[in-house]
Chains A and B, each alone.
Chain A
Amino acid sequence: MSKSLVVVVLALLVLTSAMGLKALATQPGVMANTSAPMPPTPWLLANTSAPMPPTPWANTSAPMPPTPWANTSAPMPPTPWR
């Protein structure tokens, strides 16, 4: 067996064993190379497969509610100090 073939076989053997070790040791987990605090994986909380809810302000076909202070026909409330 040539040396190159030995290299290939050894590399694949290491990869297979490492994946077996991973399957034994962990379910989908997290890495930890640094001392920094660990966040959850991005897609676990992002949940982007769910449809995005419409934002209220994007609904431009709906009429805009009148602002209270624009209703000039209504009587002005008396100021407390009067």
Chain B
Amino acid sequence: MLGRVDYLVWSAGFLLEIYVLVCSVSRRDFVRYLSLNAYMGSAALVALGEYFTIQHYGFQSMNYRYYYYYSESLLTILLFWVIIQLYQQVFAEMEASRYIRQAAALLLAATGCFSYLVIHANKDHLTSRFVVELGQNLYFVGVLLTYLLWGAILKLRETRTRLIQLVLALGVYFSATAGTYALRNLFPGLQPSLLKWVPPLVGVWLPLAWAYTFTKVAEDARLMPARLMVKAR
């Protein structure tokens, strides 16, 4: 049974996702951040669908479980696309877009193959297991890609504020969720009281941070590298 806090966190996430979309369209950044907007729009649609599924079939129903895991896997694939587009923006000057696209397609295919190899022995619920396994594996590929992207941003001395904030928000999101996984394994007793709240709150964090970035940070805003700041003094 869901309580008021569940619905509150959930609706906050939904509203923020819509806000990011509206903000992006009104500032004419929709195409520039196409994958990010597609992800936000899909996440909002999925949230609506989840609400109606729970209202019709109930939180404990099989319908909701299947809906949740299938839609989460689709969202993870979209998030993977977001990361790839951020890579393309960071490496735009090196004209490496073609190689990034090739690597992304290969990585997606390899993750799909690996996921199938892991679960192919299971005769029951093969498709559902594959969908969930693929989603989880892509999620951890996303964690690693985000850390690597952050390393590249530092190495290349990236100064585009908006890009940096988008990547940082993604990094916090992935780190918090991965940390929750690890803590759940180390301290299973914390799950019912504390850790169960982390994924929903982190789910709100991502649209919140991106909404702040699109609202407060202009596309042409630049960070002043520390080296230049020292010289300026």
Interface residues of A (CB under 8 A from B): 3-4, 7-8, 10-12, 14-15, 17-19, 21-22, 24-43, 45-46, 48-49
Q: How many CB-defined contacts (below 8 Å) exist between A and B?
A: 139
Complex CA gap A43/B59 in Å reads 15
Bound-state Cα–Cα, A21 to B144, Å = 8
Among residues of A, the one whose C-beta sits closest to the C-beta of B177 is A32
**How far, in angstroms, from A14 to B114 measured CA to CA in the complex?**
13
What's the nearest-Cβ distance from chain A to residue B168, in Å?
18
Shortest distance from the beta carbon of A46 to any chain B beta carbon, whole Å: 6
A4 touches B144 (CB 8 A): no
Q: In the bound complex, what is the Cα–Cα distance between A25 and B9 (angstroms)?
A: 26
CB–CB A43/B125 < 8 A:
yes
Q: Which of B106, B140, B143, B182 contacts A7 (CB 8 A)?
A: B106
Docked CA distance A19–B107 (Å): 12
CB distance from B192 to the nearest CB of A (A): 13
Q: Which range contains the number of B residues in contact with the other chain?
A: 35 or more
Decide: A34 near B114, CB < 8 A? Known: A18-B137, A25-B182, A41-B132: no
CA distance A35 to B9 in the complex (A): 6
CA distance A30 to B202 in the complex (A): 14
Find B140's partner among A3, A22, A28, A35 (CB 8 Å cutoff).
A22
A18 near B140: Cβ-Cβ < 8 Å: yes
Binary interface encoding of chain B residues 102-127 relative to chain A, with 1 for a CB under 8 A from any of its CBs, else 0: 11001100110010000000001100
* Distance between Cα atoms of A39 and B2 in the complex (Å): 11
A31 and B60 contacting across the interface, CB-CB below 8 Å: no
With A11-B106, A31-B136: A37-B2 Cβ-Cβ less than 8 Å: yes
Pairwise interchain contact B12-A35, C-beta atoms closer than 8 A: yes
Contact with A along B9-23 (1 / 0, CB 8 A): 110111000000000
CA distance A21 to B136 in the complex (A): 11
Select B111's contact among A15, A31, A43, beta carbons within 8 Å: A15
B62's partner among A14, A33, A46 (CB-CB below 8 A) is A46
CB neighbours of A21 from chain B (8 A): 140, 143-144, 178
Chain B residues closer than 8 Å to A38, beta-carbon distance: 68, 196, 199-200
- Chain B residues contacting A45 (CB-CB under 8 Å) are 65
Q: How many Å lie between the Cα of A12 and that of B106 in the bound state?
A: 8
